[in-house]
């Protein structure tokens, strides 16, 4: 279950990060602060989850699977963010 939570949290972190990059590039000032807060909260969640797993299980192969889940969530987050920003913000 922690793999799904980690992937979801990183999905949102990368989603917000990609969204923020597009906000900066296209000068959408009103979105910058709310997205910055969302980025920081999801970043703290991901770091906390990885730290908790490493402290309870040590440096095991399960961290590799966690890294793959986080990478998958991040990639999907970037793709979805680009589509959402293009469709709803950049017009």
DSSP one-letter string for 9-66: HHHHHHHHHHHHHHHHHTT-GGGHHHHHHHHHHHHHHHHHHHHHHHHHH-S-THHHHH
Q: In this structure, how many other beta carbons lie within 10 angstroms of the beta carbon of residue 53?
A: 17
Task: Give the single-character DSSP code of 90.
Answer: -
* This prediction's pTM: 0.84
Average of per-residue pLDDT across 48-72: 90
Please check the confidence at residue 59 and state whether its pLDDT lies above 90: no
Per-residue tokens: 74: 């991040």
Owning domain of residue 70: 2-88
What pLDDT, on the 0 to 100 scale, is given for residue 1?
83
Domain count, the chain: 1
């Amino acid at each position: 279950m922690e793999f799904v939570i980690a992937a979801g949290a990183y999905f949102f972190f990368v989603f917000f990060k990609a969204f923020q990059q597009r906000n900066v590039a296209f000068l959408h000032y009103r979105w910058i602060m709310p997205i910055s807060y969302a980025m920081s909260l999801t970043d703290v969640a991901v770091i906390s989850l990885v730290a908790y797993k490493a402290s309870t299980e040590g440096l095991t192969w399960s961290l590799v699977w966690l890294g793959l889940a986080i990478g998958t969530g991040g990639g999907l987050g970037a793709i979805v963010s680009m589509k959402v920003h293009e469709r709803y913000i950049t017009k």
